[in-house]
Amino acid sequence: MVRLKIQGGISLHGEVEISGAKNAALPIMAACLLTRERVQLHGVPRTTDVDMMVQVLQHLGMETNWVEAHTLVLRVVDDRGHTVPADCIEAMRASVCALGPLLARRGAGHLSKPGGCRIGARPIDAHLKGLRALGAKIVETDTTVTGSARELIGSEVDMSVPSGSTVLGTANVLSAAVLARGRTTIEHAAREPEICELAGFLNSMGAFIHGIGTGRLVIDGVRELHGTSFDIIPDRIETGTYLVAGAITGGDVLVRDAHPEHLGAVLQVLTSMGVELTEEAGGVRVRGNERFRRTDIVTESYPGFPTDMQAQVMALMCLAQGTSTVTERIFPERFKHVAELRRMGARIQSDGARVEITGVEDLAGVEVTASDLRASAALVLAGLAARGTTMVNEVEYIHRGYERIAEKLRGLGAAITEVA
Ligand code: EPU
């Protein structure tokens, strides 16, 4: 069990560099299955989810080499495999985005069905509906999905789900449609920056995708894609997390390589809470305040407030004046951090997918247990601000999406150490 020990109450100062976006890197890496040529990816974050995708791809006959700290070279050396290993799917649901590329390039794909996870039910019905619309034959059992396709054919596909659009569903269908015969139109495509990044990557391999950044992607299929060299954008959620770290500790932090244009809703919420944010040449500077103002957030598909920043902003709400609310529209059960924040002295009332947070003067350092990636981040943020020592147990989740988080926070002056 990995634990983080945090001595709270220290203002963070200095500069922190943001790593590449995990949620862009994962579908982009899977899309490397679409060519036999060499692909070089720059700005790949060194997180455990990326390691897991490397394992998936190696299993599927890909050679992978880290040629620099964040530069990964990938090349298919054996294209006979069709099966995404069950343990990989179980460990990381994003392994599912190998299915579209496998169908498009190898004519078959097999995986065990990802179940729900700690942030709630996570079906893949929309992925499968989209791939079927392209002509793939998909056979489902209770536990497995097997797809086959002699040829994919361009079609009209709709990626809407009750909460908006599915992100990895769009990634899967987009990564299949690029090699389909004729034109595919994806309606209600996810507009997240990570999907734009995937589309830009596919175009750099020779695909024809139009409408990037809109809810309607038009793809003219090509027979083959070629190798490429591509830079991955900085991680907007890691950026947002460090902005909250600066704010919650009343510090002064320059978050380098931040792309504020990807963080509109988050910056708006932080500003409304009284966090001072300034855009500078190298990134975004955050300065914290004595006490923050209450606010309300509702998580939505991009460009709405991201569910992946909900827990971290809730940590800040715990210390704001007045009662804030959080309504979770993407994953209504994504509140595992609530019980742990309460143990630190937070006043939080939950009512299904809506939570009320009444700010307190301070939080107390205690022993808490992490339950998923963003919940872990929220507990670390609360610990940085709390009185005394916070011990975050089972914090290995945090390494799925944050590269060297303890080291980066120490660089800003935090007293945080990993203990076994
Ligand atoms: N949904 C369906 N049917 C589907 C797919 C999704 O009903 O076939 C529903 C889900 O139950 C959920 C909503 O649609 O209510 C949105 O889920 P989505 O498919 O967009 O999520 P995802 O693609 O599986 C990605 C990110 C998540 C992030 C969500 C939402 C990656 C690798 N994962 O997941 O990231 O929370 O989009 O923005 O890109 C994280 O980084 O901490 C993380 C969980």
Which two structure tokens, joined as six digits, stand for 209? 């995708």
Rounded to whole angstroms, how far apart are CA atoms 219 and 223?
A: 13
The catalytic residue positions are: 117
DSSP class of 98:
G
Identify whether residues 42 and 174 lie together within a single domain.
Answer: yes
Tens-digit pLDDT profile for residues 68-85: 999 999 999 999 999 999
Which two structure tokens, joined as six digits, stand for 226? 């070629």
Q: Does the pLDDT of residue 65 top 80, yes or no?
A: yes
Identify whether residues 223 and 249 lie together within a single domain.
Answer: no
What's 145's domain CATH number?
A: 3.65.10.10
User: Residue 159: which residues within 8 A CB-CB, separation 6 or more?
Assistant: 126, 130, 165, 166, 169, 170, 173, 186, 187, 188, 189, 190
Report the b/e string of 130-166 with b at 16+ CB within 10 A: bbebbbbebeeeeeebebbbeebbbbebbbbbebbbb
**319 within 8 A of 360, measured Cβ to Cβ:** yes
What confidence score (pLDDT) does residue 80 get? 93
Atom of ligand 1 nearest to the CA of 332: 15
What confidence score (pLDDT) does residue 152 get? 98
Indicate the number of domains in the chain. Answer: 2
CA distances from 245 to 109, 287, 316, 328, 391 (A): 42, 10, 9, 22, 17
φ, ψ of residue 381 to 5 degrees: the values are -65, -45
Closest CA to 156 of 194, 138, 129: 129
Identify whether residues 153 and 241 lie together within a single domain.
Answer: no
Tens-digit pLDDT profile for residues 324-366: 999 999 999 999 999 999 999 999 999 999 999 999 999 999 9
Identify whether residues 196 and 241 lie together within a single domain.
Answer: no
Single residue among 231, 255, 285 that ends a domain in this structure: 231
What confidence score (pLDDT) does residue 113 get? 82
Rounded mean pLDDT of 198-216?
A: 98
Longest dimension (CA), the chain: 63
Identify whether residues 250 and 327 lie together within a single domain.
Answer: yes
The sign one gets for the Cα dihedral 42, 122, 397, 53 is: negative
pTM recorded for the entire structure: 0.97
Cα(381) to ligand 1 centroid in Å equals 24
The closest residue, in CA terms, to atom 33 on ligand 1 is 23
Tens-digit pLDDT profile for residues 222-255: 999 999 999 999 999 999 999 999 999 999 999 9
The closest residue, in CA terms, to atom 31 on ligand 1 is 23
Single residue among 168, 198, 231 that ends a domain in this structure: 231
Which two structure tokens, joined as six digits, stand for 217? 């992607």
**46 within 8 A of 70, measured Cβ to Cβ:** yes
What confidence score (pLDDT) does residue 115 get? 60
Identify whether residues 149 and 206 lie together within a single domain.
Answer: yes
**9 within 8 A of 383, measured Cβ to Cβ:** no
Percent of the chain with pLDDT over 90: 92
Helix (H) or strand (E) holding 412: none
Domain range for residue 376? 3-19+234-419
Atom of ligand 1 nearest to the CA of 122: 11
Peptide bond into 162 cis (omega under 30): no
Q: Does the pLDDT of residue 116 top 70, yes or no?
A: no
Rounded mean pLDDT of 25-38?
A: 98
Atom of ligand 1 nearest to the CA of 128: 8
What confidence score (pLDDT) does residue 120 get? 72
Q: How confident is residue 117, by pLDDT bands cut at 50, 70 and 90?
A: low
For ligand 1, which residues put their CB under 6 angstroms from it? Answer: 23, 26, 94, 119, 121-127, 161, 163, 166-169, 194, 307-308, 330-331, 373-374, 401
Single residue among 203, 231, 259 that ends a domain in this structure: 231
